[in-house]
């Protein structure tokens, strides 16, 4: 009986904390990071704003915990095991998977936009983690394949990653047509994916 009495408040606290974290995500997805104010978060969560201070210490700490709780870079599934091609298939898979993931995840789109708009330690950590993940792929597989041209291939990858990010953020905010292609349609997005495959194939054959 004592155990149940102890666990009740604990479960209640954890549920309330999760509601507040979910409220941050909801506001971020629907209104953007500028809407992340203490009163708006509390109203969205349906809780007293005092709980934000009691559980997290303040709005900034709550937002930072939300960012930490979402591992936005561990979203590429079923990575190809074959790496004898110098990482060509793996790179294609990762870029296209990230392109699809961002299209489906409005919170991730807002995080990327936020990262470009505001200096924040927790956002910087997300950037650092992204770079660490990419560096492992480059150093272990891609750089040895390209040798003296490794930096050129990294530059090509940078253009592809940033372009794919932009296309997803563009279609989510100001329209879906870009260069005559509908970035919300399967047909338009498949053209982008084929272009990614083409560019990578050219790099692997001509660098």
pLDDT digits (tens, 9 = 90+) for 8-17: 556 788 899 9
* Overall average pLDDT of the 64-77 stretch: 68
pTM as predicted: 0.75
Q: Are 180 and 94 within one domain? A: yes
The contacts of residue 143 (CB under 8 Å, 6+ apart) are: 150
Count of domains for the chain: 2
- Residue 80 is assigned to a structural domain of this protein: no
Q: Return the H-helix or E-strand segment holding 177.
A: strand 177-178
**182 and 143 share one domain:** yes
Residue 98 CB coordination number (10 Å): 20
Q: Which domain, by its residues, includes 37?
A: 2-69
């Amino acid at each position: 009986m004592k155990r149940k009495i102890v666990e009740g408040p604990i479960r209640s606290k954890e549920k309330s904390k999760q509601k507040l974290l979910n409220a941050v995500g909801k506001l971020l997805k629907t209104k953007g990071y500028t809407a992340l104010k203490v009163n708006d978060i509390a109203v969205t969560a349906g809780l007293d704003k005092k709980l934000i201070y009691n559980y997290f210490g303040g709005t900034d700490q709550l937002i930072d915990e939300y960012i930490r709780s979402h591992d936005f870079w561990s979203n590429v599934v079923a990575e190809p095991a074959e790496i004898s091609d110098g990482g060509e298939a793996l790179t294609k898979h990762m870029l296209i998977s990230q392109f699809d993931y961002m299209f489906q995840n409005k919170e991730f789109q807002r995080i990327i936009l936020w990262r470009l708009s505001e200096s924040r330690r927790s956002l910087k950590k997300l950037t650092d983690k992204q770079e660490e993940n990419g560096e492992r792929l480059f150093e272990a597989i891609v750089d040895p394949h390209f040798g003296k041209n490794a930096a050129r291939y990294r530059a090509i990858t940078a253009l592809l990653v940033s372009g794919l990010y932009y296309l997803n953020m563009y279609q989510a905010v100001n329209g879906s047509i870009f260069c005559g292609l509908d970035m919300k349609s399967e047909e338009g997005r498949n053209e982008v994916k084929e272009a990614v495959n083409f560019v990578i194939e050219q790099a692997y054959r001509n660098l």
